[in-house]
Structure 1
Amino acid sequence: MKFFKNINKLSGLKATILTNQSAFGFARKYHFQTYAEIFDLKTIFLPEHGLFAELQDQVSGDELKYLFGNMQIINLYGKEESSLVPPRENLTNVDVVIIDIKDVGSRYYTFLTTAYYILSEISRLKKETGKAPIFLVIDSPNPIGRKVEGSPLQKEFESFVGVPSVLHRHGLTPGELLSYYNETFHLKVDVVVVPVGVFHPKSVSSFEWIPPSPNIPTQNTCLVYPGMCLLEGTNLSEGRGTTKPFETFGAPYLLGDAKEELDKRMASHQPGLFYLRNLRFLPTFHKYAGTICEGYQLMVVKPKQFHSLYFTLFFLKQLKELFPNEFEYLKGVYEFRSDRPAIELLAGDTVLLDYLNSNVSDSDLKEYLNQSESRWIKAIKPFRY
């Protein structure tokens, strides 16, 4: 991994940047404003949700309009899957592509997948022409630290919410994960990382948290997201349309004796690490908008030990057993894919899917996750700093 701390030495170079409102704080400015004073900044690439996290999930940014001098604004989350890949002409006429955007520590989160697609396109450009811009990553801390969870995404489940081989909770910074991609997939791009602390502080207090997207309002959201994002593939509300998305969840049908049995089963899972607060909530948009849902708030009391992915897998398995006529996995288009249901793209692993179908025991699942996590920690060791 190459490091570079003084980007002023690159002053005047032609540059393009992938960024959004999460890159803020240095000199109390949005970072792209600072870079515009250093580089000849030509283009801003926008990820999903827009520059200021204006848009909900899976909403095209094609209609967004901004005006920042002569800079070109290019949306990399449009109505078609082809929009995810940056236009070649915006990479051929620049010296450096800057990546300054925060991640939340989970492989589903699309910002670093967008960065990976840019990295891959630069790799193709280099192979075809022998020339390519520097890929400069302004690193930022992982908001949920170094802990890892899950299993590697299998190739057949690759999508915009899953790059092959990466765990559900990867434990890496953006610079480390993108360096991993460059090395593992033999992209041979000149990746340079500006370490944490130069532009982004090494740690951020909860009072300084900037939501990188509309439904990651707090750092606590990041903690539960590696598991709770699976709810996107179900007919449960994952709490969009509430003030605590991914921490608040449920559905109108969670009632009766089956709900009481569900409460009992969840109380015995990962005891002492979390508790569930029973509640009712009314989503203002998204699933069940305007309909009272019965559900929970997930209250994590020991975050260093709590395993969000195992929690959600266990919860979904119980739902399928206790509410066989009401609980469903969603079908249809999800992040531009229609050939597989969302739960398969999110779980990304046949063993986990077999567990959800009651074909793998709890003990076997825990052993499988432990082994997968141990292998991942070894694989990523060269990329951590």
Structure 2
Amino acid sequence: MSTPSRRLFMAGAGGTAVAATAGAVPAVAHGRPGGRRVRTGADIAAASGWSTLRGQKVGVITNPTGVTADLRSIVDVMHESGQVDVVGVFGPEHGFRGTAQAGESEGTSVDPRTGITVYDAYGAGPDALTTMFRTAGVETVVFDIQDVGSRFYTYIWTMYTGMRAAHRVGARFVVLDRPNPIGGVARGPMMTEKYTSGVGAEAVVQAHGMTVGEVARYANRHFMDEDEGGRLADLDVVECTGWRRDMLHADTGLHWVMPSPNMPTADTALLYPGTGMFEGTNLSEGRGTTRPFELVGAPYVDHRWAERLERADVPGVLFREAYFTPTFSKHSGAVCGGVQVHITDAAKVDPIRVGVEMLVALRALYPDFAWRQDSWDTARPYWIDKLTGSTRLREMVTAGSSAREVMEAWRSELADFERRRQPVLLYPGPRRAGR
């Protein structure tokens, strides 16, 4: 597929269109022969010689997924170009260079490669991040992280916190956009205000079906007025080229760079909005194995779970009886019975249905099945409620509702979200809501 030598990437709310011309970053040929090749916002911006960032003091929120086509960190490329004055890097969960495990960060330090100060932004609220931006002297904030399309993956909330802090210091906010690896269809239940947290800070559905650029536009339109008393005046999205809403990661021709240690493959990401719910149970979600969120089980589970799930005939997947021993996290060192979820047709996979079917079958089969309770939050002790946005899924599964009944319960709120997100969507293709 030929690539235009010149194009405009369109700004978001309050921004302007910026011309991008061919530059130093090579067009890397990858992906399936004859397949569509997507160019990311980072590649578009780099090809212009970072023209949209020249003359500004830039703070970058990124991690190992923020790379150009040749798989080099955008911070390294910016720094070596001499065209961008990077005054600070702000590391999310797992850190800027990706050395930390789930729920951890790298701390604040000076990056040995570039000499740039890297601030620990994981868990930082708007007040703390505002202080970091002011300390660094940031005039423009750049966000470039590969999201995986799930509300409870923390990077979109790091981005939104960065937007709020940018508003407070009067900074411009630029998103270097990347495809949503699980496509553009919205699915699942809505977050409710009572259950917001770091794994769901605002009212979006469980699988939002948006790129990070679209999430930023949605947040600016629907959340900033209430949270900050006004919207970002200068929000720019450097759009991808070649991406459609019906494309999964395998269709893009892009390399998969692990967004976090327990997200090793694009298949993991596709299942995660559903199997990620097992973090809210007493089963291992596969952390401490080579197939997290694909292997799920516990010492009390036997062959009956896989057999029951196969009878459910869930589109796009097969459930294989599996046994594994996690090396860390839940049930570390113990043999767990369970299933491995195998994807047979990625285009047919509804990850929320996969997760709900698995939960419903477990509750019916095993008296030892339980919801994880967190002693540190006595008012909202069930982690599953924070993951799914309310008590509804937990209560319905506990009461013996079918998977279909559980998923029907959020149909109207999903349709409402679909209507609300339409004005901020940037990319063509099917826009229908899932379940």
Q: TM-score range, shorter-chain basis?
A: 0.7 to 0.9
Which residue is 1:210 aligned to?
A: 257
Per-residue CA deviations over 1:310-356 (Å, capped at 9, x if unaligned) read 221232233223222x222222268x998432111001133323322
Q: Secondary structure at the match of 1:159?
A: coil
CA contact (8 A) 2:151 2:200 kept: yes
Cα separation, 2, equivalents of 1:328 and 1:113: 28
Per-residue CA deviations over 1:281-312 (Å, capped at 9, x if unaligned) read 12122112222111111012233332211221
Of 92, 106, 111 in structure 2, the residue corresponding to residue 47 of structure 1 is 92
Matched, 1:133 2:178: no
Which residue is 2:181 aligned to?
A: 143
CA contact (8 A) 1:49 1:56 kept: yes
1:297–1:351 distance in 2 versus 1, CA, 3 Å: same
Which residue is 1:220 aligned to?
A: 267
Which residue is 2:63 aligned to?
A: 20
CA contact (8 A) 1:284 1:290 kept: yes
Of 365, 373, 388 in structure 2, the residue corresponding to residue 347 of structure 1 is 388
CA contact (8 A) 1:317 1:358 kept: no
Q: Secondary structure at the match of 1:49?
A: coil
Which residue is 2:211 aligned to?
A: 173
Of 328, 335, 353 in structure 1, the residue corresponding to residue 370 of structure 2 is 328
How far is the alpha carbon of 1:34 from its aligned partner?
A: 2.2
How far is the alpha carbon of 1:375 from its aligned partner?
A: 2.4
Which residue is 2:111 aligned to?
A: 66
1:137–1:11 distance in 2 versus 1, CA, 3 Å: same
Superposition RMSD in Å: 2.6
CA contact (8 A) 1:351 1:360 kept: no
Q: Which amino acid aligns with 2:370?
A: E
Cα separation, 2, equivalents of 1:282 and 1:84: 42
Runs of 4+ in 1 over 6 A off after TM superposition: none
Cα separation, 2, equivalents of 1:22 and 1:42: 20
How far is the alpha carbon of 1:370 from its aligned partner?
A: 3.5
Cα separation, 1, equivalents of 2:126 and 2:235: 23
Of 152, 170, 174 in structure 1, the residue corresponding to residue 190 of structure 2 is 152
Cα separation, 2, equivalents of 1:65 and 1:235: 40
How far is the alpha carbon of 1:4 from its aligned partner?
A: 4.0
Per-residue CA deviations over 1:230-254 (Å, capped at 9, x if unaligned) read 1111111111111111011111111
Within 5 A, what are the aligned runs for 1:272-351?
Answer: 272-324=315-367, 326-332=368-374, 339-351=380-392
Which residue is 1:183 aligned to?
A: 221
1:226–1:64 distance in 2 versus 1, CA, 3 Å: farther
Within 5 A, what are the aligned runs for 1:214-253?
Answer: 214-253=261-300
How far is the alpha carbon of 1:18 from its aligned partner?
A: 0.2
- Structure 1 unaligned residues grouped into runs of 5+: 127-131
Identity %: 29
363-372 vs 277-286, which moves further: 363-372
Matched, 1:375 2:410: no
Q: Secondary structure at the match of 1:365?
A: helix
How far is the alpha carbon of 1:215 from its aligned partner?
A: 0.6
Cα separation, 2, equivalents of 1:164 and 1:16: 24
Matched, 1:110 2:159: no
Per-residue CA deviations over 1:38-83 (Å, capped at 9, x if unaligned) read 22111000000112322211124337763244411101126xx659
Q: Secondary structure at the match of 1:74?
A: strand
Cα separation, 2, equivalents of 1:295 and 1:331: 21
1:63–1:296 distance in 2 versus 1, CA, 3 Å: farther
Q: Which amino acid aligns with 2:394?
A: L
Q: Secondary structure at the match of 1:150?
A: strand
Q: Secondary structure at the match of 1:294?
A: strand
Q: Secondary structure at the match of 1:328?
A: coil
Of 173, 177, 200 in structure 2, the residue corresponding to residue 162 of structure 1 is 200
1:9–1:213 distance in 2 versus 1, CA, 3 Å: closer
CA contact (8 A) 1:96 1:136 kept: yes
1:99–1:239 distance in 2 versus 1, CA, 3 Å: same
Q: Which amino acid aligns with 1:221?
A: T
Matched, 1:75 2:120: yes
CA contact (8 A) 1:46 1:76 kept: yes
Per-residue CA deviations over 1:122-157 (Å, capped at 9, x if unaligned) read 23x16xxxxx11000000110111122102101111
- Structure 2 unaligned residues grouped into runs of 5+: 1-11, 21-49, 427-435
Q: Which amino acid aligns with 2:121?
A: L
CA contact (8 A) 2:141 2:166 kept: no
**TM-score, structure 1 as length reference:** 0.87
How far is the alpha carbon of 1:166 from its aligned partner?
A: 0.6
1:220–1:277 distance in 2 versus 1, CA, 3 Å: same
Cα separation, 2, equivalents of 1:77 and 1:337: 24
Q: Which amino acid aligns with 1:53?
A: G
1:95–1:60 distance in 2 versus 1, CA, 3 Å: closer
Q: Which amino acid aligns with 2:393?
A: L
1:69–1:305 distance in 2 versus 1, CA, 3 Å: closer
1:311–1:64 distance in 2 versus 1, CA, 3 Å: farther
**TM-score, structure 2 as length reference:** 0.78
